Amino acid sequence: MKKILTKSLVWIGYLAVLLLLPQFFDSILAVSLFNQMAIAIVFALSYNMLLGQGGMLSFGHAVYFGLGGFLAVHALLLIEFETVYFSIVYIPLLAGLVGLLAALFIGSFSTRKAGTVFAMISLGIGELLAASSLIFVSFFGGEAGVSGDRTYGPPLFGVEFFQGIEIYYLAAAWVFVATLFMYLFTQTPAGRMANAVRDNPERAEFIGYSARRVRYISFCASGFFAGIAGGLYALNYEFVTEETLNAVTSGRVLLMAYIGGLGYFIGPILGAVILTLMNSLLSNYTDLWMLYLGILFLLTVLFLPKGFAGFIMMHRVAWLQRRIRKLVLPYLATAIPAMVFMATCVLMLELSHIEDESISVLNMELSASSSSTWLGLLLIASTSMLVTRRTLPALREAWESANHVADEPESKS
Amino acid sequence: MFEVLVFATLNGLVTGLLLFMLASGLTLIFSMMGVLNFAHASFYMLGAYFAYSISLYLGFWPGLLIAPLLVGLLGALIERYGLRRVHQHGHVAELVFTFGLAFLIDEAVQFFWGPDTKNYQSPDVLDFPLFTLFGQEFSAYRGFMIGISVLIFIGLYRLLTRSRVGIIIQAAITHPHTVANLGHNVPLIFMAVFGVGSALAGVAGVIAGPVLTTFPGMATVLGSIVFVIVVIGGLGSLAGALIASLLIGLLQSYAIASNLGVADLLNLFGLEFSRDHLLTDLWTLTLPQIAPILPYLLLILVLIFRPTGLLGNREQ
């Protein structure tokens, strides 16, 4: 009973955050950022259904997103020319159904195997569709894409969806419903079996489940939710191009889900928020943000194989043992020099890339051409790295003592 | 008609052999470690850029030697300090790692060399027509490309099947534990193979750079095609990779050279459709238009009907 209560509290909190966010940040920029986040969250969660929960690595997930987006934009056009007449709030559902249809067809042959074969088929289909979208101009609009206008539909309670904030509330509603249903899916037998098939398909088959059918169900559900995300994308931008279904978008969603943390339900949400923030905030300050993103991604794969969510969840034992406080100091001791090291590296990268002669940092003018600047930066970088490496054993020790469960010295005495 | 055919064949041969140079390294790496290296085409791009920078100071020929060595060294280091670390988390993590690596190398190339196309030229020595056929010239550089690729295929094949090193490598592919028990350093062999595979991609980059232009998107252009070849040829099969490379190269070359379309096909059956239709694009489809998607179509068909590929003998 208590568990259900805490769970529903989490969901109410999630809904409250979704609804209240624009109350605190109400600039046009912030709202457009929230819209992007909403789309990214649904998309990344749908991807996690495949890779995180079903163990299917897809390099062509944008197919369902893009098809949903294109259908949504065509639906907008149909409304505009009064072929059909319905409120645009249903468009994401329609887009989701297209994603589902595409997944029903593609999944019927691609889910036979997981692993490399599945990954290669998804890559092939992704490239196939991206290339054909440039050929079939009447539907995909070629390089220029297709644009529509969301304001022609019948108003809903007087809302005509002129402004970004109105779209945000629509998107927030869809995000909440989609997240809830995706969570509920993980609790169904199909969702549970997806985990089993991911971990050991052979054993799942021995219990009497067809691994292929289990994968197929996850795949279709994932396509459906990706389509919903595509529909939201079309409503937000009123403009869909070939890029929504090509490899770049497929890659981005993989990055989001992986950096956030596969396997944890909250992971892709984290990843979507982090990457959207990086995407729009960092790109204002530096041209090199894609490079930083690549570095962040590789570091995550190397050192945090379960992503940020996995990193947070690592501390569960220490938290339950009430020893999390023991970790604070060692963490700070490692994190501060590590931060200094990273900041210096970023500074060196930026310094080597600017057009102007110098950057001012902490009231210091750093000249790109003077060798003393470079020597100083290199010195700081190498010292901070050495210090970081020196503090690592202490951190490891603290970690082990905090996570140590059985036969502690206190309990013996 | 005949002359079009001849030139399409020659061009297809050049592309196919170039693709083979990339695919051979990839398939070698795959057969050893069971990991499909997404960054392989990025090593190819690095080869071209390294050679470009070297050619500015030393000319083309030193670049042909030094650039692949550098790429191979980089590949070996990445295997040692990156891939080997990720290996413990399983195949998906490895695939994702190489995917991230490809992304990072793309960005790094733009960071160091900038986003514009580099003026990387083929050497003057080879700047003459090798022969003239039906009034069209076939440049000596293309002949040189064919020569290098054939040499690499023969060299690699002999190395793998006839030399002691090759036999140890082949044994390490199928029975790594037994080979380790015999006293060979298997992780070192893996690292060396990864390095050599990357170096081969580097060679391809060096000689393709002047023809296919050296720009930051060159990895993406070839990246997925190389995958297609390795999968069609059969994962881990060198001969399969050769056949698939030539197949894809010729297929694309013929498709581009022909000017047949759906309309011609319909005419054959005496059918005609109005142009003013939702499906107009379908009726006016031509072979050159669909040339870029043919490899992917082939890939999907192969994966559905023969998942082991043409000459592959094991399923992943």
pLDDT at A136: 79
Chain mean pLDDT for chain A:
83
Report yes or no on B123 lying in a domain: yes
Share of chain B above pLDDT 90, in %: 8
Share of chain B above pLDDT 70, in %: 87
Which residues, numbered 74 to 113 in chain A, qualify as contacts with chain B under a Cβ-Cβ cut-off of 8 Å? 109, 113
Report yes or no on B306 lying in a domain: no
Spatial distance between the Cα atoms of A357 and B218, rounded to a whole number of angstroms: 32
DSSP letter assigned to residue A156: B
Q: What is this structure's pTM?
A: 0.85
Residue, of B127 and B220, whose pLDDT is higher: B220
User: Residue A163: what are its φ and ψ, rounded to 5°?
Assistant: -100, 160
Contact B100 A301 (CB under 8 A): yes
Report yes or no on B194 lying in a domain: yes
- For the cut 90, the answer to whether the pLDDT of residue A166 exceeds it is no
ipTM: 0.81
Which residues, numbered 54 to 93 in chain B, qualify as contacts with chain A under a Cβ-Cβ cut-off of 8 Å? 82, 85-86, 89, 91-93
Contact A128 B293 (CB under 8 A): yes
CA angle B203, B208, B212 (to 5 degrees): 155
- What is the distance in angstroms between the Cα of A16 and the nearest Cα belonging to chain B? 35
**Domain that includes residue B152, residue range:** 2-258
pLDDT at B281: 65
pLDDT at B300: 81
pLDDT at B316: 43
Contacts of B89 in chain A (CB under 8 A): 305
Residue, of B5 and B40, whose pLDDT is higher: B40
Residue, of A393 and A353, whose pLDDT is higher: A393
- For the cut 90, the answer to whether the pLDDT of residue A225 exceeds it is yes
For an interface test with A, which of B91, B252, B300 has the most A Cβ atoms less than 10 Å from its Cβ? B300
The most confident of the ranges A99-108, A371-380, B116-125, B295-304 is A99-108
pLDDT at B279: 61
* pLDDT-derived band at A413, boundaries 50, 70, 90: very low
- Tell whether A119 lies on the interface with B, counting CB pairs under 8 A: yes
- Tell whether A354 lies on the interface with B, counting CB pairs under 8 A: no
Report yes or no on B305 lying in a domain: no
- Tell whether A212 lies on the interface with B, counting CB pairs under 8 A: no
Contacts of A263 in chain B (CB under 8 A): none
pLDDT at B18: 87
Inter-chain Cβ pairs, chain A and chain B, closer than 8 A:
114
Report yes or no on B32 lying in a domain: yes
> Which uninterrupted H or E stretch holds A115?
helix A115-135
Of B32, B26, B71, B96, nearest in space to B242 by CA: B26
- What is the distance in angstroms between the Cα of A36 and the nearest Cα belonging to chain B? 22
Contacts of B299 in chain A (CB under 8 A): 120-121, 124
Q: From the centroid of its chain, how far is CA A14?
A: 17
**Per-residue pLDDT reduced to its tens digit, A85-111:** 777 778 889 999 999 999 999 888 888
The HSE-up count of residue A244 (CA atoms within 13 Å, CB side) is 32
- For the cut 80, the answer to whether the pLDDT of residue A356 exceeds it is no
**Per-residue pLDDT reduced to its tens digit, B85-129:** 888 877 778 888 888 898 899 888 888 888 888 777 777 766 677
Spatial distance between the Cα atoms of A286 and A400, rounded to a whole number of angstroms: 39
- Tell whether B293 lies on the interface with A, counting CB pairs under 8 A: yes
Q: What mean pLDDT comes out for the span A38-52? A: 91
Spatial distance between the Cα atoms of A49 and A57, rounded to a whole number of angstroms: 10
Report yes or no on B273 lying in a domain: no
**Per-residue pLDDT reduced to its tens digit, B62-96:** 888 889 999 999 999 998 888 888 888 777 788 88
pLDDT at B278: 58
Contact A254 B99 (CB under 8 A): yes
Contacts of B307 in chain A (CB under 8 A): 113, 117
**Per-residue pLDDT reduced to its tens digit, A254-267:** 888 888 888 788 88
For an interface test with B, which of A77, A254, A301 has the most B Cβ atoms less than 10 Å from its Cβ? A301
pLDDT at A411: 42
pLDDT at A412: 39
Domains of chain A: 16-290 (1.10.3470), 316-412 (no CATH)
pLDDT at A68: 92
Contact A298 B100 (CB under 8 A): yes
**Per-residue pLDDT reduced to its tens digit, B133-142:** 666 677 788 8
Bridge-based pairing state of the strands B136-139 and A364-367: unpaired
Report yes or no on B199 lying in a domain: yes
- For the cut 50, the answer to whether the pLDDT of residue A227 exceeds it is yes
The CATH number of the domain holding residue B182 is 1.10.3470
Chain mean pLDDT for chain B:
81
User: Residue A364: what are its φ and ψ, rounded to 5°?
Assistant: -110, 135
* pLDDT-derived band at B272, boundaries 50, 70, 90: low
Quick check: B71 and B46 in contact, CB under 8 A? yes
pLDDT at A240: 86
Residue A304: strand, helix, or coil: coil
Residue bearing tokens 């297209």: A98
Structural domain total, chain B: 1
- Tell whether A155 lies on the interface with B, counting CB pairs under 8 A: no
Report yes or no on B316 lying in a domain: no
Low-confidence winner among A40-54, A87-101, B288-302 (lowest mean pLDDT): B288-302
Low-confidence winner among A75-84, A96-105, B150-159, B257-266 (lowest mean pLDDT): B257-266
Dihedral (CA of A254, A259, A263, A268) sign: negative
Q: What mean pLDDT comes out for the span A60-67? A: 91
Spatial distance between the Cα atoms of A337 and A388, rounded to a whole number of angstroms: 6
pLDDT at A363: 64
- What is the distance in angstroms between the Cα of B278 and the nearest Cα belonging to chain A? 7
Residue, of B280 and A263, whose pLDDT is higher: A263
User: Which of A57, A121, A305 minimises the CB distance to B89?
Assistant: A305
